[in-house]
Amino acid sequence: MDYRRQYIKDLLTGSPGQAAEAYGWVKTRRDSKGVSFVQLSDGSCFKDLQVVIDAGSISDDLLKQATTGACVKFSGELVESPGEGQAVELKACSLEIYGAADPASYPMQKKGASFEFLREIGHLRVRGNTFGAVMRVRNRASYAVHNFFQSRGFNWIHTPIITASDCEGAGAMFAVSTLLEAEHGPDGAQFRLKDNNPENDFFGKPAFLTVSGQLNVETQAMGLTNCYTFGPTFRAENSHTPRHLAEFWMIEPEMAFCDIHGDMNLAEEFVHEVIRDILDNCGPDLEFFDQRIEKGLIQTLEHVASSEFERMTYTEAVKLLEASGENFEFPTAWGSDLQSEHERWLTESKVGRPVILTDYPKDIKAFYMYGNEDNKTVRAMDVLVPRIGELIGGSQREDRLDVLEAKIDEMGLPKEAYWWYLDLRKYGSAPHSGFGLGFERLIMYLTGMKNIRDVIPFSRSAGSADF
């Protein structure tokens, strides 16, 4: 067996008369008089291969083992398919069973199983239509992300997962420590704190899983000009929403010699190009999402890929929200953060496409954002999209040493911990900007999937870290 063989994707575009071997997992088997039909999938494309077995060409005892979920190889010849939906099918003359799947207990055979149930069998759900399609789109979107940046001369930076600095200053970090020891007793596991002095810990000081690679990628942009990170980030927020995970992937470009306008241009171009790539390369998967998950998805994506994003300030947005006459659960007032309901009203009801909001009040944004002259707002920019709300959060960075130091003091952050970040402003400071895009939110947007737990192979959120 070699990896250089034909996938089902290739067999489906093969020619009648061609000898073929098809490896995969049985989706269904239907036996009728004189002939059996098997739908076979190897995940290489949305469509299954139809395998036709004439009575007597494969022994009944063997064929009986090819039940839903079994892993098999069928060999035979491609023939023209009389049925609708496929040009060719495989007329099989031999079958090899690699792994049977007991029909009495195989959990993936229920048609129309709920996404909640499928989360409980996260190790098997990729064999179904929906999760196969999600993972193929996720894969292609990762590729499109790298393509976008690489074709524009950005350097991919591998920023650390373990860090001692809190980038967002929001305190929602997971500690990384070897001072906590798990003891397994008859009543299960228990934690014991060996020592509570961080100086005796593995790194000699408190360390955490990163919430963002931004501060590190900024250092690289101050020497390489255009950089980006694409990796996992972690937040210990106890938010049980369909848009938050405790472990999610983030894409963070950072550009020297770029202001907030250039930052917005990059964000818009980036979203346009990734959507275009998925439309061009994931057609059958998108058709499935359009029919079964989110009606009109393809049309919306086509529209968004070619339309300019609306740009307005936070202050303008608050005025619109106040004048909207809508009965929001959370009232809007200048100075408070926008809630998901406000973001959705702006993008869905008011504008009808993505909106970039800029110049937020400084008190609701992170310490590193460039302060405007009004001394009330910062050069922040959030990209909001229909259905999802915030897809991107970014800003022009504060590059003035004295202003940044004063801000860190004002917010009560530990200045010593940011000494290297401040050095960037001390030695050869440059105007620079960047943003962070939540990769899972992008996948939700591209697929129409409603829950962020269903666009990542194994989700981690408060109270749940299975598999």
* Amino acid letter, 16: P
Residues 149 and 276: their CA atoms lie apart, in Å, by 15
For the bound state, the minimum distance from the C-beta of residue 135 to ligand 4AD, rounded and expressed in Å, comes to: 18
Nearest Cα residue to 136 out of 286, 356, 251: 286
In angstroms, rounded to a whole number, what is the distance separating the alpha carbons of residues 164 and 191?
A: 23
Question: In DSSP terms, which residues pair with 182 in a beta bridge?
Answer: 191
Q: Does 423 bind ligand 4AD (CB under 6 A)?
A: no
Phi, psi for 2 (deg, rounded to 5)? -130, 150
Binding marks (x or -) toward ligand 4AD, 7..46, rule CB under 6 A?
A: ----------------------------------------
Candidate list 393, 394, 434, 438; residue touching Mg ion; CB under 5 A: 393
Rounded alpha-carbon distances, angstroms, from residue 142 to 120, 148, 217, 277: 26, 10, 19, 11
Asked if 389 interacts with Mg ion (CB under 5 A), we say: no
Interface mask toward ligand 4AD for 237-276; x: CB under 6 A: x------xx--x-x-x------------------------
Q: Which residues contact 186 (CB under 8 A, 6 or more apart)?
A: none
Which residue type does 235 have?
A: R
Contacted entry of Mg ion, ligand 4AD, none for residue 247, CB cut-off 5 to 8 Å set by kind: none
Residue 216 site contact among ligand 4AD, Mg ion, none (CB < 5 to 8 Å, cut-off depends on kind): none
Determine the interface stretch with ligand 4AD among 30-38, 190-198, 291-299, 437-445 (rule: CB under 6 A).
437-445
Binding to ligand 4AD (CB under 6 A): which residues in 173-212?
212
**DSSP secondary structure string, 433-458?**
EEEEEEHHHHHHHHH--S-GGGSSSS
Per CB under 6 A, the list member of 159, 214, 358, 447 interacting with ligand 4AD is 214
Q: Which residues ranging from 385 to 414 are in contact with ligand 4AD (CB under 6 A)?
A: 390-394
Q: Does 440 bind ligand 4AD (CB under 6 A)?
A: yes
| Contact assessment for residue 379 and residue 359, using Cβ atoms and an 8 Å cutoff | yes
User: Which of 24/393 has CB closer to Mg ion?
Assistant: 393
CA pair distance 390, 339, nearest whole angstrom = 10
The least distance separating ligand 4AD from the CB of residue 215, rounded to whole angstroms, comes to: 8
- Work out whether 394 is an interface residue with Mg ion (CB under 5 A): no
Applying CB under 6 A, among 441, 443, 445, 455 the residue interacting with ligand 4AD is: 441
Query: What does the block give as tokens for 435?
Result: 């943003």
- The string of DSSP letters for 280-327 reads HH-HHHHHHHHHHTSTTHHHHHHHHHHSPPEEEEHHHHHHHHHTS---
For position 167 contacting ligand 4AD by CB under 6 A, the verdict is yes
Q: Cα(379)–Cα(52) distance, rounded to whole angstroms?
A: 63
Q: Which of 69, 132, 436, 448 binds ligand 4AD (CB under 6 A)?
A: 436
Query: Closest approach of Cβ 167 to ligand 4AD, in Å?
Result: 5
Structure tokens at 103: 């029909």
Asked if residue 134 binds ligand 4AD (CB under 6 A), the reply is no
Closest contact distance (angstroms) between CB of 146 and Mg ion is 23
Least spacing, CB of residue 8 vs ligand 4AD, in Å:
33
434 belongs to the binding site for ligand 4AD (CB under 6 A): yes
Q: Could you please report the per-residue DSSP string of 242-262? A: TT--SEEEEEEEEEET--HHH
Q: How many CB atoms lie within 10 A of CB 259?
A: 14
Contact between 165 and 215 (Cβ < 8 Å): yes
Q: Which amino acid is at 225?
A: T
Whichever of 176 and 369 has its CB closer to ligand 4AD, that residue is 369
Number of residues that bind ligand 4AD (CB under 6 A): 23
User: Measured from the CB of residue 393, what is the shortest distance to Mg ion in angstroms?
Assistant: 3
Q: Which is it for strands 355-361 and 310-313: parallel, antiparallel or unpaired? A: parallel
**Can you tell me whether residue 128 is helix, strand or coil?**
coil
**3 state DSSP class of 95:** strand
| Closer to ligand 4AD by Cβ: residue 22 or 369 | 369
- Which residues lie near Mg ion (CB under 5 A)? 393
- Which residues lie near ligand 4AD (CB under 6 A)? 167-168, 212, 214, 235, 237, 244-245, 248, 250, 252, 390-394, 434-438, 440-441
